[in-house]
Every structure is written in structure tokens, then in C-alpha cells.
Amino acid sequence: MKKIYTLIAALSIFVAANAQNDFAVNLVSHTAGDTDASDPLTFEFEVENVGTSTFLAGDTLWVSLGFDGGVVGLDLTVGNVNGYIVDADFAPGDVFAVPAVTIDWIPQPAGTTVDLCAVVYGFGAASFSGAGPSFGEIIVGDDNTDNNVSCITAELPVDDASIEANELGLTNIYYAAGEIILVSEGSEAGKQVNMNVVSINGQTVQSETFVMSQGMNAVAVNAIASGIYIVAVEIEGVLVTRKISIQ
């Protein structure tokens, strides 16, 4: 009996070692590489089990969106990853349809594009590391991460309001060394500034109120995920915006 048990155990180890975990993203609303200027934009994808492993009913499949390489949840919250509990075994060849996402873009001061991606991590919270410069490093336990991400290019709407065409004495707004810098020529000195930092999908991630000084005004940025943001500055009812990249 001992020998039989040993043989069974060895066989189980052999099978487990040769099982393959591999998930693929299939775009439903688009074809990979498409360019879409729709506003709002509807984005839909599915996840296919292209490996040899079966995942049991009750397990959680984790997915997200990607904006220019940053992780964004299906609720459009920066840094979120969403899980779905499967109600049946997820066998090789099975497909899980992820609910469609509709994105209302924030108009930009100039022509702007965003790499919008569908991402699958895998089953269980351990399928993603939570950090890394690329999705290939964030995804854990998938034997082939080349098919876990599929992207299109989104062209965002343009709003002609800009720093160059406004009634304010602002000459520049930019991001550097963890701070947003507002440069004033002096005519706005002493006036109250209402500043919002908004993600490109419309979520306000930081709000500040302060009094403008002549020259450089530095505002420390909170713990904001890397990505593209809009700085909206309002002074006495006049609003200007500027796109910034936070790394």
C-alpha cells in the first residue's frame, strides 16, 4: 500500500508541474490596435482560458483596465483591480465576458491620445504583484503574459481653452519633482486659487485652495498613481486647464 501511495503522489506532482496557467484577453468592442475618437467610449472585452488548468467555481478572476501603462479599475478608479467570482468551473477553452465599460473623457487643451488596454491577471489575489513598471511584471503566475493585455488608442476630445488663450496672468503650469508648479506674471498675486487635479476619466484626485504669489507657486502632489492628469485652475471665475504627466 505504501508503494501505491508513493506512485500516486509522484503522478500528481508530474501532472501539476505540467499544468499551464494561461489567460488571454479578447477585445469585443474593438480590434487590437484600433484608434477610437468616440466620447463617450464603450470598451468591452472577454477573458479566455487558453491554458490547460481548470479553475473551480467560486474562484475569483481578476481584471483591470490600463491607461498609458497605469492600472485603472473598471470603475475608472486609479489603482483598482476588479474581481469576479465565477459560478462554474473555468476550464480550458472557456470564456468569461467582462461587463462593458463606458468612459466619458475630459476635454483636453490639445490633441491627446491614451493607450487604453484590457488586462487579465488570473485567479486569486496572488495573480498580481501590485507593483511594477510593466504589466508583464505585475501579472504573477501566468505562464505567458504576452496575451494578457490588449490595447487600442483613444483620441480624447479637445477644448481650445489653454494657458496661451486666457485672461489670467499664468504663463505656465507643469509638474516637477513631486510638485505642480504654477508660474504667475504677477497680475494674479494675492488672489485665491482653486486648483483640481483630475484624471483623464474625470476623477478628481486632489483639490487645493491657496493664495497666488508672483513667480513660482509650488503645490506638493499627494500619493497619486503615475499617469496623465489635467490641472484645472480657477481664479475669480476664470478657468484654465493644462495636461501634465505624473511619473
32 with 89, same domain: the answer is: yes
Q: Which domain holds residue 184?
A: 170-246
120 with 204, same domain: the answer is: no
Which residues, in sequence order, are bridge partners of residue 170?
Answer: 184
CATH code: domain of residue 221: 2.60.40.3080
Q: How many domains in the chain?
A: 2
The C-alpha R_g of the chain, in whole angstroms, comes to 23
Last residue of a domain, one of 128, 155, 182: 155
Last residue of a domain, one of 130, 155, 180: 155
149 with 179, same domain: the answer is: no
Per-residue pLDDT of the chain in tens (247 residues, 90 and over written 9):
333 333 333 333 333 445 689 999 999 999 999 999 998 999 999 999 999 999 999 999 999 999 888 888 898 877 789 999 999 999 999 999 999 999 888 777 667 888 999 999 999 999 999 777 889 899 999 999 999 999 999 998 876 555 554 556 777 788 887 889 888 877 778 889 999 998 887 888 999 999 988 888 889 998 888 788 888 888 888 888 888 888 7
CATH code: domain of residue 77: 2.60.40.10
pLDDT number for residue 235: 87
Per residue in 99-131, is it b (16+ CB within 10 Å) or e — as a string?
eebebebbebbeebebebbbbbbbbeeebbeee
pLDDT number for residue 19: 61
139 with 76, same domain: the answer is: yes
Last residue of a domain, one of 132, 155, 178: 155
Examine residue 221 and state whether it is found in any structural domain, yes or no: yes
Examine residue 188 and state whether it is found in any structural domain, yes or no: yes
Examine residue 44 and state whether it is found in any structural domain, yes or no: yes
| CA 150/CA 26 separation, integer angstroms | 7
Question: Would you put residue 211 in left (φ > 0), alpha (ψ -120 to 50) or beta?
Answer: beta
Decide: 137 and 145 in contact? Cβ < 8 Å.
no
Decide: 244 and 219 in contact? Cβ < 8 Å.
no
106 with 215, same domain: the answer is: no
In three-state secondary structure terms, 16 is: helix
pLDDT number for residue 225: 81
Examine residue 142 and state whether it is found in any structural domain, yes or no: yes
Examine residue 52 and state whether it is found in any structural domain, yes or no: yes
Amino acid, res. 185: E
130 with 179, same domain: the answer is: no
Examine residue 3 and state whether it is found in any structural domain, yes or no: no
